[in-house]
Structure 1
């Protein structure tokens, strides 16, 4: 019996050593996969976020020229340390911008299995569509029947003279009253306006309130003349409307059908009753709607 055990135990010890060695190798392999997998996941996440940031920022310049879009995309990639990973940049002027990023990631433990580098790729596409819902609109409206020529001078009248049906494009966005109107013109309407909304028109003499608010907006614009400056207070978001309710030869209510952007070119004189400016194409922070009229105001939609 003793001789048998002496022969058996060394054999069992050898088998155990093999099993332990295999277990350690398997454990190291799993650990390596977890570590390298984590690196791949982190890289993929970073590239995806960067690609989305690049197309969302670049899409803001789609109403302009291709170089403007390219410059913004490159700036975002540089800020995220991903400029060298740009695999593809596609720009459809006035429509969409697409970015593909690719990076070769060096492996640590997976080299044992022959994987020295693993390619990681991320793509994103953003398109602009007509704006159909937004905050911050000015209490001024433009009839959809009026053809808009961009960068051409227009005058938005703020009194009732020489305007058919007594409507002069002034809206009571959050209720009637000159004080409410002035606040909405100065800061923008804080509520949301969307295509299909029925809005009352504003009556009364508000030319003085208009001059005060317009002068403040011009003063607060730090970069006058720069139509692309994102924070220029000279730029007004204006609802586009269809006449809705006429009463006693006056337009009492309008129906919102879209949005436009109006750039204030100059201050109003003491006796001026109109705002001088021009309509521009611009991407804002609203929401897209296929039912909205295309009047130069756009929002961004991330499609992938």
Structure 2
């Protein structure tokens, strides 16, 4: 009887060792998979962020030249030490830019099963869309009935002489008065404007306040409109495009925003000037798409894939 009990005990002890070994191998396997899986996940997450950054930055130059788009994309990849991961760049000027990245990841536990590495692949694309919502607009506007030709001379009037309905393109953003106008012209209106919003017009002659700020903006940037690389070039201002909303006694009292445009200031204003001279340009900015907005050269950028 004693022998029988002893044999049963020995058998159970042996089974426990086997079960413990199996459990240990299972835990080791899960730990190994977690390590390899975590490494693959972190690599993919990092690559996707780099790819997104590359296309979003490259899309800003889709209105410029293709080689500049490529340069920006490569600069972003190099800054993250991922230029060797680039497989393909696709560029459609004034439309989209896309990149494909591929990076081999050396595995640890999976080598026991014959897998030494895994290729991690990501894709990202950014498209240009019509801007319909933005922060930083200048307190100046352009009637959407005026046809715009890009890189052609235009004048934005800042007094009411000789303009239909007393409309001279000066808008009251936030509040009326010369001081708010000056601040908004210098720094851009810091609240969001969007298509469909109704704005009051600014009355009176504020050409004097305008001249000083325009001189500052001209002095702050030397790049020409065909080759504006500096995203913060002070000569470039965002202006609302509008349609008349309320006319009273032959004066335009309010307007409705229908879109946005970018205006490049070409010249300072002298003491007799009552207009800002410049050109409308196509440009991608930090605004957002809004349904129903008119396209007048101002693009927003959207990550699409």
TM bracket, shorter-chain basis: over 0.9
Q: Which residue of structure 2 aligns with residue 290 of structure 1?
A: 291
Q: Which residue of structure 2 aligns with residue 264 of structure 1?
A: 265
Q: Which residue of structure 1 aligns with residue 110 of structure 2?
A: 110
Q: Which runs of 5+ in 2 are unaligned?
A: none
Q: Which residue of structure 2 aligns with residue 183 of structure 1?
A: 183
SS of 2:16's partner is helix
Cα distance in 1 for residues equivalent to 2:191 and 2:4: 91
Cα distance in 2 for residues equivalent to 1:233 and 1:260: 15
Query: What TM-score comes out, normalization by structure 2 length?
Result: 0.95
Q: Which residue of structure 1 aligns with residue 199 of structure 2?
A: 199
Alpha-carbon contact 1:129-1:290 (below 8 Å) kept = no
Q: Which residue of structure 2 aligns with residue 237 of structure 1?
A: 238
Cα distance in 1 for residues equivalent to 2:135 and 2:60: 17
Q: Which residue of structure 2 aligns with residue 88 of structure 1?
A: 88
Query: Does residue 242 of structure 2 align to residue 249 of structure 1?
Result: no
Cα distance in 1 for residues equivalent to 2:180 and 2:8: 98
Q: Which residue of structure 1 aligns with residue 50 of structure 2?
A: 50
Q: Which residue of structure 2 aligns with residue 170 of structure 1?
A: 170
Q: CA deviation at 1:19?
A: 2.3
Cα distance in 2 for residues equivalent to 1:208 and 1:20: 88
Query: What TM-score comes out, normalization by structure 1 length?
Result: 0.95
Deviating above 6 A after TM superposition, structure 1's stretches of 4 or more consecutive aligned residues are none
Give RMSD over aligned pairs. 1.5
- Size of the alignment, in residue pairs? 303
SS of 1:190's partner is strand
Q: CA deviation at 1:118?
A: 1.4
Change (3 A) 1:16 1:142: same
Q: CA deviation at 1:5?
A: 4.1
Q: CA deviation at 1:6?
A: 4.7
Cα distance in 2 for residues equivalent to 1:97 and 1:240: 27
Cα displacement string for residues 2-45 of structure 1 (whole angstroms, at most 9, x for unaligned residues): 33345444444433332222222222111101111110111011
